[in-house]
Every structure is written in C-alpha cells, then in structure tokens.
Structure 1
C-alpha cells in the first residue's frame, strides 16, 4: 500500500508540473494566434479590394501645344510683330497677283501679235487692215494712232512739222504707251524684292528684344528659355526671304518677257510707219519686196 501511495503521489506531482509548464505556453500561443488572425484578414481584404478595382480608362491622346511655332508667334506677338507679319503677307499676295496677271497680259499681247502678222498685212486697205485686228489688241491701238496721224496733219503749227516726223512721233507715242502698260506692277516687284528681307529682319530684331527682356525679368537663362524665343523671332527673317525671292525672280523673268514682246511691237510699228508713208497698203509686207 505504501508503494502504491508513493507511485500515485509521483504521478500526481508529474501531472501538476506538466500542467503548470504547458499552461503558459498554450496561453502565449493563443494570444499570438489571436493577433495574427486579424492581420491575415486585413491583408485578405486589401487583396480583395485591389482585385475588385476596375482598371483606369485609357488616357486620350491630345495634341501637344507647340510654344515655338507660327501659331505661338501670332498669339504671343504684340501689335508691332503682328503688323510686320501682316505687311509681309500683303507683299506676298501682291507679288503673286502681279506675276500671274503679267504673264496673262504678255501672253495676250503675244497672241495679238501673231494675229496681226497673219491678218493685217493681207488686207487691201488700211481701214480693213485695222478692222481685222482684235478691238482690245495693242497692235490695233498703234494702227489707229498711225492712221489718225495721217489724217490730222493740218493746222498752222502742225504744218511746220515734217509729215514723216509727225507720223513717227505718233506711232512712237503709241508704242511707248503700250510699253508703259506692260510695265505696270514691275516696280512693285522690285520694291518687294529689295525691302522684304529688311522688313523680316526688323521683325526678328523686335522679337529678340522682347525675348531677352522677358528672360531678364524672369531671371532664368537656361537653354530652353533662350533658344525658344530667339528661334521664334528668326521666323520673321525666313518669311521676309520667302517673300523677296519670288519677287526678284518674277521681276527679272517678266522684264525679259516684256523685252521680247516689245521687240515684236516695235517691229510692227516700224512696218506700219513705212506703209503709212507710202500712202497705200497693197497687200504685201512693206519689206518683202526689198528682200
């Protein structure tokens, strides 16, 4: 009995010791589990929210605004810059208008010259020869002035002038008037060709002045603050050159064409002078018999 009681006492002591040892461990484990569980729940909730959020819509592409182009030059320019640009545009419009109108006019006179060469000298009389020409023809105008001079060489003052000289003067005046009409507008081309680069240069100088003033006020002299406004101001010089070059080329080209057209007009006037001095038009070119 004593041995049995001793064994029971030993098992009871061991159980008590085990219980006292494991109880704190289980308590700590339970507390750690309780603290870890909410964190897991929060993470799970955050994951759920992240997954459930729809993707943002794609951003629409918008054209970027260029602060250094022609649009910015017009939008940010002052009254003087806009006036300079407007003058250059007017010069360009006037240049191209004169070039096209003069080419059309010269072609018309050249066509009338071919008509006069074909019809005028084949007529039987001066009046029929004159009527065979187009009413708007420069050649008809010269013929009318020449014929009119032969019929109005009278009066005390005009009789003092030799008939040959009087007819020559009348035809020469008509030719000079035709030449003056063909030369209208060429002075404008010469003016534009010589002044447009300087007008553009003025716009550039004015733009650079304002750009440097703005840089000095802002106190920033970085490359983007300097290169942009200065490059924008140089556009004025480019526009001035773009206006001047066609004007100069057009002036030289039209002057050369005028010379060729007027050579034919003067030849017609010289032949008409010979016919008027002969007193009749026999249907042949005045210089054909001498060749």
Structure 2
C-alpha cells in the first residue's frame, strides 16, 4: 500500500466517522473543566510574558538612547556644575543621570550640613560613596523587575502543558476502555488532540526564556557600565577636578575604562 493510498483511506475513515473532526476546536469542545482551566492559565501566561517583553524591550531601547545622549554631554562638559545645571533643567530619565544627580546632591548636602545624622557620618567622600552604592542598588533592583515572572513562565509553562496532555490522554484512554474500541483510528485523534497542550506549553515557554536571557545579558552590560561610570564620578567629586582629560577623549556615548579618570585628574592637578 502506497503512502498516498494510506492517506486517502485515513481521510475516508474520518469522513465516514460521525462527529470525528480532529482539531483544536474539537479539542476545546471535548475538554472538561480542568482542561479548559489549563488552557486559560497558558493563555494568561502568554499574554503576561508578551506584554512584559514589549514593555521592557521598549523601555530598554529608550533608556539606551537617553543614556548615550547623557554620557555624550557629560564627557564633553567643562565642569560638574554644568552637569548639575543640565540635570536640574531637564530632569533625570536614565540611570547615569540618576546616579550623577544623587552624587552631586550628596556632595552639596554634606558641604552645607556636614555629618548631621548618623547616615552622614564620616568624610564627604564616605557619604558620597554610600550614596552612589545606594543608587547602584536601586538601579539594579529596578532592572530586575519582571525577570522573575519571565523565568517563572519559562520554567512552568511546559509542565502546565504536559499536565494538560496527561489529563487529555487519560480521558481518551478511559473513553476507549469504556467503549472497547482500541483501533488506531480511535486512538490517534484523541491522543493527538491531547498533545496540543504540550505544544502550547512550549509555545508559551520559549519566548519567555529567550527574552529572559536577552534582558539578563543587557542588564549585566548596563550594570558594568554603571560601575565604571560610578568610579569616574566618585574620582571627580573626591578631587574637585573638572572634566578635562589628558589624552584623547573616548568615543561619544561611551564611558572610559576604569582608572582613566584618575590619570586625567592627576594630570590636571599637576
């Protein structure tokens, strides 16, 4: 028997069997409350993950552009006072500006009031260092928002789909056992429809896992750049030097390597 003949015979058997219309709609129609509840859970997971992916993706693109513009302005400014004036006029809309604004405020606050409270104890450099660390922690926490949900969906969606498959296969086998009909044409339809749940679980999990990995890498890169920028900023605030540089300026929109600021400040002081 050729494959074409087998396909024609299968189609004829399906057409001759009343009510046998394998497909997703037929699967939903014959699902019980548990199966429909699992479908609803997978649908909610999919909607939540895609909404989060679009929201965080758009936010990261805008944040990257704003950060590049601010770093370009910062490394071309003549002094930290010019940076502070710019932040006061246009506000803060990205992590690097947020870090610079709080560090400058900490410097001015300690210069005016000194160590008036316990959290302000120590030198001005100690107070600025604690402020920078606090802002870095806040930015790191903010960047992690939503990643737990993506990781949870990516890890649990396949098992939700697998449970739906097991549940559907169980009911299919139970029906076959009650009717006593166990031929291939009686088993293939219900079992194939039950396997749809596994496919749905994978369809929900794969985008969530890929987005989680992409966002995690982007966050690591941004945290590294923030750490380097925080070192440079602390050096400038501690020495009171301007933003003049010894040697060639870095490419616009990028922070210099850690330690470059210290060499620049030493050259200016000399």
Which TM-score band applies after superposition, normalised by the shorter structure?
A: 0.7 to 0.9
Q: Distance in 2 between matches of 1:123 and 1:274?
A: 16
| Residue matched to 2:182 | 221
Instruction: Please list every run of 5 or more consecutive structure 2 residues that lacks an aligned counterpart in the other structure.
Output: 1-17, 250-260
| Aligned counterpart in structure 2 of residue 273 of structure 1, from 195, 210, 234 | 234
1:143 partnered with 2:97: no
| Residue matched to 2:9 | none
Q: CA deviation at 1:243?
A: 1.3
Count how many residue pairs are aligned between Structure 1 and Structure 2: 228
| Residue matched to 1:172 | 133
For the pair shown, which has the larger CA radius of gyration, 1 or 2?
A: 1
| Aligned counterpart in structure 2 of residue 101 of structure 1, from 31, 52, 55 | 55
Matches within 5 A, 1:5-16: none
Q: Distance in 2 between matches of 1:93 and 1:158?
A: 44
SS in 2 for 1:190: helix
After alignment, is 279-288 or 261-270 more displaced? 279-288
| Residue matched to 2:218 | 257
RMSD of Structure 2 on Structure 1 (CA) = 2.4
Matches within 5 A, 1:191-206: 191-206=152-167
TM-score between both structures, scaled by the size of structure 2: 0.76
Give the conservation status (yes or no) of the 8 Å contact 2:71–2:96: no
Instruction: Please list every run of 5 or more consecutive structure 1 residues that lacks an aligned counterpart in the other structure.
Output: 1-63
Give the conservation status (yes or no) of the 8 Å contact 1:106–1:182: no
Relative distance call for 1:158 and 1:185 in structure 2 (3 A) is: closer
SS in 1 for 2:242: coil
Relative distance call for 1:182 and 1:259 in structure 2 (3 A) is: same
Which stretches of structure 1, 4 residues or longer, exceed 6 Å deviation after superposition? none
Q: Distance in 1 between matches of 2:201 and 2:148?
A: 18
Q: Distance in 1 between matches of 2:74 and 2:102?
A: 15
Relative distance call for 1:264 and 1:207 in structure 2 (3 A) is: same
TM-score between both structures, scaled by the size of structure 1: 0.71
1:181 partnered with 2:112: no
Give the conservation status (yes or no) of the 8 Å contact 2:42–2:200: yes
